[in-house]
Structure 1
Amino acid sequence: MNPLLFCLLLLFQCFFLCKSQLPIPAKIDGFVYRMPSVWGESVVVEAFLDPVCPDSRDSWPPLKQALDYYSGRLSLVVHPFPLPYHSNAFLACRSLHIANKLNSSSVYPLLELFFKTQEKYYNAPTYGMSRASVVADMTKLALTAIGESIGTAFQLGFNDSSTDQAARISFKYGCSRGVAGAPAFFVNGMPLSGSPLDYNKWRSTIDPLLANNKS
C-alpha cells in the first residue's frame, strides 16, 4: 500500500475512534452487593470479575470476608467483565444481567454458583458443545438460584436484545476504565494493584481510609 494512503487511513481511523461515543446506559453499570446504608460515607470497592475466571473465583472469598467484617462501612459494586479468551464468559455475564432483570436478589447467588461450577464452562470441556447447549446448561444452573418457576423466562432472556446490550456495556465500561484483565479492583475510584487480593491486603488497604474518614 502507498505509505501516504496508509497514513491517511490511519488518521481517519483515529479521528473516527476519538469522535465515536460509547453507549451510555440508563443507569450506571454493575450490581450493588446488598444495599449500603451510608453509600456516601463508606469506602467503595468496584470489582471487575469474570464468572468463569479462576482468579476472579479465588478473589471472591477474601473480598466477601472483608464485606462481612466492615458491614455498612464498605460498599461493593461488581461489574461483569467477560474475558474474550474465555469462550463462555460473555454468556455467563449475560446470565447475570438476565437474573438481575428477573430477580435482582439472585445475582450474587448465581455468581457464586458460577464460581463453584466454572470448570464445566472452561474452553476445553465445552469445545464440542453448541451455544444452545451451553445456554440450556446455564439456565439449569440459574434456576438453582432464581427458582424453577421462571425457567422459561430466563432462557428467553438470551433472546432479549436488552440483556445482550447490557452485557456489552459491562465489557465496554471496564475497557473505558482501563481494565485489561480480571479480577481488577478500584477503591474509591482508584485502581488497586495486586490481585487476587487476600483478606489481610483488604484490611491494610481499607483500615487507613476509614480512619481518615473518622478524622
Structure 2
Amino acid sequence: MATRASSSLAPTLLLWALSFFAVRRALIASAQSLPPPKYDGFVYAEHPVYSGTIVIEAFLDPVCPDSRDSWPPLKQAVDYYGPRVWLVVHLLPLPYHDNAYVASRALTIVNMLNTSATFPLLELFFKEQVKFYNAQTLNMSKASVVSYIANFATQVVADSLKSAVVSGFENTLTDLKTRVSFKYSASRGVFGTPTFFVNGFSLPDSDSTTSYSGWRSIIDPLITAQGDPREENFYFL
C-alpha cells in the first residue's frame, strides 16, 4: 500500500515542483532590470566621440549642496574643452536627503520628454535647492512633496508637456529608470556625492568641490599626453 501511495503522489509532487520553479523563475525575470537597455546617465553635450575623448562621469544628487557647488566649475571646464571631453551625469539620490529620489525622478521624467531640458532642470534644482531640504518639507505628506516637485519641474518644459511631467510620476517606468541609476552608482562603489571618474578611474578626494583650475590641472596633461587627435579613429556614441 505504501508503495502504491508513493507512486500516486509522485506526479503530483513533480507538478508542484515544476510549478514552483516556473513561478520563481518568472518572479526573478520580472524583477530583473539589469543591465538596462541603454547606458545610464545624462549626456551633457551631444558630439562625436573618438578613442581619445576624455570621459568624465559625475555622480550627483540634485538636493546635495556639494553637488550644487561642484557643478559650475565642472560645466565651465567641459565647455572650455568642447568635443575633447565627454560628460555623463549619473544621479545618486542619497537616502538622508529626503527629497532626492523624487527630484531625481523628476529629472528622469523630463529627460524622457525632452533631453534639452534635463540640465536646465538640474541647474534649477541647484539654484533653488533650499526649497527641498529636509526641514522645509518636514510637515508635508509624501503625495504633497511629489506634487510640489512635479509642478516645480514643469518650469523647464513647454506648456504642452506640463501634464506629461505630472503624470510621469504615475508611470512605473520612470520609477524603474531612477532605481537603475541608483543601482548603477552602487555597482561602481559610489556612496557619496559629488563623485567623479575620469576615463574610468575615480578621482582622489572627488567628494569635495573641484575648482575650474583644478579641472584644468587634471585634463590638460591628459590631452598633452594624447598627441594629435587627428591620428585617432572616430566613433559615435
Task: Indicate the residue corresponding to 1:199 in structure 2.
Answer: 212
Task: Indicate the residue corresponding to 1:62 in structure 2.
Answer: 73
Query: How many residues were matched structurally?
Result: 196
Give the Å deviation of 1:121.
0.4
Gaps in structure 1 of 5+ consecutive residues: 1-19
Contact 1:99–1:107 at 8 Å: present in 2 too? Answer: yes
In the alignment, the residues of structure 2 paired with residue 106 and residue 131 of structure 1 have an alpha-carbon distance, to the nearest angstrom, of 25
Give the Å deviation of 1:21.
7.2
Question: What letter matches 2:154 in structure 1?
Answer: L
Contact 2:151–2:166 at 8 Å: present in 1 too? Answer: no
Question: What letter matches 2:214 in structure 1?
Answer: K
Give the Å deviation of 1:159.
1.0
Task: Indicate the residue corresponding to 1:181 in structure 2.
Answer: 192
Give the Å deviation of 1:22.
6.9
> Larger deviation: 43-52 or 130-139?
130-139
* Equivalent in 117, 120, 128 of residue 109 of structure 1: 120
Deviations 1:46-67 (A, max 9, x none): 0000000000000000001101
The 1:21–1:150 alpha-carbon spacing in structure 2 relative to 1, beyond 3 Å, is closer
Deviations 1:102-129 (A, max 9, x none): 1111110100000011111000000011
Task: Indicate the residue corresponding to 1:16 in structure 2.
Answer: none
In the alignment, the residues of structure 2 paired with residue 38 and residue 181 of structure 1 have an alpha-carbon distance, to the nearest angstrom, of 28
The 1:147–1:22 alpha-carbon spacing in structure 2 relative to 1, beyond 3 Å, is closer
In the alignment, the residues of structure 2 paired with residue 102 and residue 39 of structure 1 have an alpha-carbon distance, to the nearest angstrom, of 28
* Equivalent in 68, 85, 96 of residue 96 of structure 2: 85
The 1:183–1:158 alpha-carbon spacing in structure 2 relative to 1, beyond 3 Å, is same
Question: What letter matches 1:30 in structure 2?
Answer: G
2:133 pairs with 1:122: yes
Question: What letter matches 1:55 in structure 2?
Answer: D
Matches within 5 A, 1:1-215: 23-194=34-205, 195-214=208-227
Give the Å deviation of 1:68.
1.3
> Secondary structure, in 3 states, of the residue corresponding to 2:56?
strand
Contact 1:32–1:76 at 8 Å: present in 2 too? Answer: yes
> Secondary structure, in 3 states, of the residue corresponding to 1:193?
coil
Greater Cα radius of gyration, structure 1 or 2: 2
